[in-house]
Amino acid sequence: MTKEIDQLIANFRPPAFPGSYFISFEGIEGAGKSTQIIQTQRYLESLNFRVLVLREPGGTSFGEKLRKAILESNSPIHPVAEMHLFASSRAQLLHEVTLKELAVPGTIIIYDRYIDSTIAYQGMGRGLGIEAVLKTHQSFPLTLVPHLTLYIAIGLNTSHLRQNKRQIPKDYFERQGNDFYQKLIDGYEKSHELFPERVFKIDGEKDESFVFEEIKRAVHHLIERVR
Ligand code: TYD
């Protein structure tokens, strides 16, 4: 790790609201994020937390417009423009929703994708580099990172098999080829390396119940550690 990346990383912090937590889910298409997010939400509610699930990009009326601008674009968007669109949607969602809701004690905010998606997709997939992504996130509120990131890791084959089973029209990123997906995996691995305390990697090749047990283990560790 270069000194410069070290310095950039040192500026990131989880939000500090007693009794409230910020968690994100990450992984390439087919990792099983959606199913696990629903189960995790139910489980945390059964522990008496107030749980809100937010998706990136989107979650605010401004963010939903940006989501459409990116995911429904028929022409290629320049990687730098793309990165700033995602960061822009993120800053607005943090300001408008996340920070306000976390101020209510006993709240857990779950993000379906966060900064590690930008590291994987724009940093590695689009080739902007990880440093460029970290630099774009140096102003508050973009310096906020989750207490815990659940990275569900799968390989290229599993991603293809699960995407083919779904048979829904492919969006902007899903149309990309193998090289792109391999870069996403490399990007997530790099995130895991750069943020070892925050990013918890789970073997998503295993079945749903194994993945969920791992999630519960990580969540308990967080709640007991911070309390
Ligand atoms: P979405 O339909 O939410 O995908 P998924 O169900 O796989 O989460 O679309 C979000 C897409 O945007 C997804 O392909 C990943 C991509 N993305 C980025 O490229 N950079 C980012 O910073 C974020 C948050 C998402």
Rg (CA), the chain: 17
Average pLDDT of the chain, as a whole number: 94
Instruction: State the pTM of this model.
Output: 0.96
Nearest CA to 43 out of 23, 16, 14 is that of 23
Cβ(188) – ligand 1 distance below 6 Å: no
Domain range for residue 219? 3-226
Q: Whose CA is nearest to atom 7 of ligand 1?
A: 29
Cβ(86) – ligand 1 distance below 6 Å: yes
Phi, psi (rounded to 5 degrees) for 149: -120, 125
CATH classification at residue 145: 3.40.50.300
Cβ(57) – ligand 1 distance below 6 Å: yes
Our count of domains for the chain comes to 1
pLDDT digits (tens, 9 = 90+) for 89-122: 999 999 999 999 999 999 999 999 999 999 999 9
